[in-house]
Amino acid sequence: MTITDIAKLSGVGVSTVSRVINNHPDVKSETREKVLSIIKEYNYVPNNSARILKQSNTKNIGILVKGVFNPFFSAILKNISTSVEASGYTMILQHHNNPNDLDTLVGFIKEKKLQGVICLGGNFIDIKEESFDDLDVAIVLLCVNLKTQKAWNSFSTISIADDIAAYEATRYLIENGHRNIAIMLGDRDDLGVGLIRYEGYKRAIEDNGIEIREDYIIYGEYEVTKAYEKATSFLKENKEVTAIFAISDMMAIGVAKAVVNLGLKIRDDISIVGFDGMDVAKYYEPTITTIKQPKDEMSKMSVDLLFELLNGETQHKHILLDIELVEGNSIKKIN
């Protein structure tokens, strides 16, 4: 079934059928009805490749996800997915663990002929000025590790102030009297936003005259199980620690279980702070104090911005969203 077949069956020319399909105005309504009925009867769907070939408009949006598909990313993914489809674009999902995020991104764009791409997570610290030069594509980075302002006009970013967020979380613990505060990061070899969060933590510690201890870093790999294991062995050996700041809520849950299974009490013995503001943190018992990221806003903005960029309605932007420290019941006030 091609457009030619439909044209013959409806007794009109191919251009007319094309006009009908694309909702062009210059078609008599009875002709349109007739063509439409034939299309429906024969279950005709236009060949996307042929259209793309002619129009050089692929309508492909890529989503490049780095690392774990944690519930936080999934929630964002779902929101993005819904909006992308609603706009008649095709969403191509790629997951990777490649340390070279930039090359992966560029390859993805070229290979899939993307018009736009959203990156979820990853390190983009050494972006080169010319990296995106020859590709005319709308790029939005979400939750990435990016400190340089190089090539600042070649892509957009939507992020929270990860360092300030981590600073706040740590300061909150210190204000509550904690001094021996450990931090749980993701992958030792590929920190991503974890690096920025660690810097916030570090600054808060130092600003309050506490000594930084490298051995207070735990790597939980963003997984509940790993977090549980690592926290268990860590707590066994560092009895003086009174608080752990985990940079994801899922890891915070692993830590919580470790605390319980060691015969300790969450809050009274070990205070816990999470990060993300997932529902599970709220519905865990005790409710875990966490840094809430505006995930719905983040996903909505990223898609909106992407389409604005695609339509040439805006220049590249760098948006910083607010976070919120949501108090739970997992932090003890010491004296």
Partner DNA sequence: GTTAGAATTGGAAACGATACCTAGTAAAGA
Partner DNA sequence: TCTTTACTAGGTATCGTTTCCAATTCTAAC
Interface pattern 192-211 for a second copy (x via CB under 8 A)? --------------------
Number of Cβ within a 10 Å radius of residue 155: 24
Q: Which of residues 242-281 bind a second copy (CB under 8 A)?
A: 250, 253-254, 256-257, 260, 279-280
d(CA 140, CA 76): 14
Q: How far is CA 160 from CA 64, 151, 185, 314, 320, in A?
A: 19, 20, 17, 21, 5
Segment interacting with DNA, rule: CB under 7 A, options 14-22, 92-100, 171-179, 190-198? 14-22
**How far apart (Å, rounded) are the C-alpha atoms in residues 202 and 208?**
10
Q: Are strands 289-292 and 324-326 parallel, antiparallel or unpaired?
A: antiparallel
Identify the residue among 8, 34, 112, 317 touching a second copy (CB under 8 A).
112
Q: Is 54 near DNA (CB under 7 A)? A: yes
> Cβ of residue 207: shortest distance to a second copy, in angstroms?
33
- Burial of 229 (C-beta count, 10 Å sphere; 0-12/13-18/19+): middle
C-alpha distances in Å from residue 99, one per residue of 102, 103, 126, 173? 9, 9, 12, 33
Phi first, then psi, for residue 235 (nearest 5°) are -65, -30
Q: Residue 12 interacts with DNA (CB under 7 A)?
A: yes
Q: For a second copy, which stretch binds (CB under 8 A), given 116-124, 197-205, 219-227, 288-296?
A: 219-227
With binding defined as CB under 7 A, does residue 299 bind DNA?
no
Min CB(267)–a second copy separation in Å = 12
If binding is defined by CB under 7 A, does position 137 make contact with DNA?
no
Does 51 bind DNA (CB under 7 A)? Our answer is yes
Count of beta carbons in the 10 Å neighbourhood of residue 323: 22
Q: Decide if residue 110 touches a second copy (CB under 8 A).
A: yes
User: Is 91 within 8 Å of 84 (Cβ atoms)?
Assistant: yes
CA distance 239 to 128: 46
CA angle 169, 172, 178 (to 5 degrees): 110
**What are the phi and psi torsion angles at 42 (to 5°)?**
-95, 5
- Taking CA atoms, 326 is separated from 142, 144, 172, 175, 278, in Å, by 22, 23, 11, 15, 11
Site for a second copy, residues 153 to 172, rule: CB under 8 A? none
N residues, the chain: 335
According to the binding rule CB under 8 A, does residue 69 interact with a second copy? yes
Q: What share of the chain is helix, strand, coil (3-state, %, to 5)?
A: 45, 20, 40
300 part of the interface to a second copy, by CB under 8 A: no
What is the DSSP code (8-state) at residue 215?
Answer: G
Residue 37 interacts with DNA (CB under 7 A): yes or no: no
Decide if residue 81 touches a second copy (CB under 8 A). yes
Residue 290 interacting partner from a second copy, DNA, none (CB closer than 5 to 8 Å by kind): none
Rule CB under 7 A: say whether 3 interacts with DNA.
yes
Shortest spacing between CB 60 and DNA, in angstroms? 15
**In this chain, which of 41, 53, 103, 126 binds a second copy, going by CB under 8 A?**
53
Phi, psi of 117 (to 5 degrees): -150, 140
Interface with DNA includes 90 (CB under 7 A)? no
Residue (27 or 247) nearer to DNA, CB: 27
Q: Name which of DNA, a second copy, none residue 18 binds, using a CB cut-off of 5 to 8 Å depending on partner kind.
A: DNA
Using CB under 7 A, list all residues that contact DNA: 1-4, 11-16, 18-19, 21-22, 25-28, 30-32, 44, 46-47, 50-51, 53-56
Interface contacts to a second copy, rule CB under 8 A: 43, 45, 47-50, 52-53, 58, 63, 68-71, 73-75, 77-78, 81-82, 85, 90-96, 107, 110-113, 134, 223-225, 228, 250, 253-254, 256-257, 260, 279-280, 282-285
